[in-house]
A = this chain, B = another copy of it.
Amino acid sequence: MANLRLIDVATKRCPMQEGNESKLKQFVDSNGFHNFIIYLIVFNAITIGMETSPNLVNSVGNWFERIDNVILYIFIVEIALKLFVYRLDFFRSGWNVFDFTIVAIAAVPLAGPFAVFRTLRILRTLRLLNNIPRLRFIIEAILHAIPSIGWIMVLLVIVFYIFAVLGTNFYGADFPQFFGSIGETMFTLFQVMTLESWSSGIARPMMEKLPYVYVFFIPFILIATYTTLNIFIAIVVNTMNEIQADESQREEDRIKNFVRDENKEVKKQLSDLKTQLSEIEAHLKKK
């Protein structure tokens, strides 16, 4: 409720003059305001973290909630200001949409059965990814690698699905805790792919009843880990390839420039020779 009223206040500010608006733009884009928001996100992350301790909550009463509400108000004002300054351009950046969504979700008042979702407020910390340029750069670099591995992921999903159907059909009746349904088998296969207790916890107990169960596990492990390995290799090779093409291009450009400069002199000397020859020719013809 309070949140909604605040948004009203923010949007009522709309009918202002250009002068104010450009001053506001300066303020919104200033380093000071930017850093203030970053410190506030970190401070909020710490207070939300401290709220997990029942002792702390008991001793300070509902101060945490009050702090949290104040910070949320500031975030809403911040987004509102940015919306006011940039209008719809604000939503052109995916990062801004991300920011807006996180604050909007946090502004939804939760009560009753949904109170457990209050803990999702910690997701606001993700705003750091947008507001610290170096982190945004890393996230973009990591996301940049995804297309090159997308189809290997599809391949991995196909492998998982085939083994999940086979596992459920073959072992579902005897070992329902591991292979009871496609979903449970998928979870078991994920565990096996991480190599966690795949033998001591799953394969060996099963082998007491089904001694040939290794023909299921060993091919799965080999295929799944080899495919995962190829995801990794794809990223390394791709990144290296791009960097190398860049480096190669730069080297090429420098060599070309060097050759061009060297040849410029040669051509200069050649054209001098030509001039000299023309003079001689003219001299001869004159005679």
Q: Which of A11-19, A28-36, A83-91, A267-275 contacts B (4 or more CB under 8 A)?
A: A267-275
Q: Which secondary structure dominates where chain A touches chain B?
A: helix
With the chains together, A194 CA to B126 CA distance in Å?
A: 24
Contact B265 A267 (CB under 8 A): yes
Contact A277 B277 (CB under 8 A): yes
Residue interface mask A170-206, B partner, CB < 8 A = 1: 1010000000011000010011001111111100000
Check if A40 is an interface residue, CB within 8 A of chain B: no
Q: How large is the interface on A (under 10, 10 to 19, 20 to 34, 35 or more residues)?
A: 35 or more
Contact B125 A161 (CB under 8 A): yes
Can you list 15 A-B contacts (CB < 8 A)?
A: A45-B165, A53-B181, A119-B169, A122-B162, A125-B161, A134-B151, A195-B195, A240-B243, A241-B243, A241-B247, A245-B247, A252-B255, A269-B271, A279-B281, A283-B285
> Which A residues are within 8 Å of any B CB, using their own CB?
45, 48-49, 52-53, 116, 119-120, 122-123, 125-126, 128-129, 134-135, 137-139, 141-142, 151-152, 154-155, 158, 161-162, 164-166, 168-170, 172, 181-182, 187, 190-191, 194-201, 214, 218, 221, 226-227, 229-230, 232-233, 235-237, 239-241, 243-245, 247-252, 254-256, 258-260, 262-263, 265-267, 269-274, 276-281, 283-285
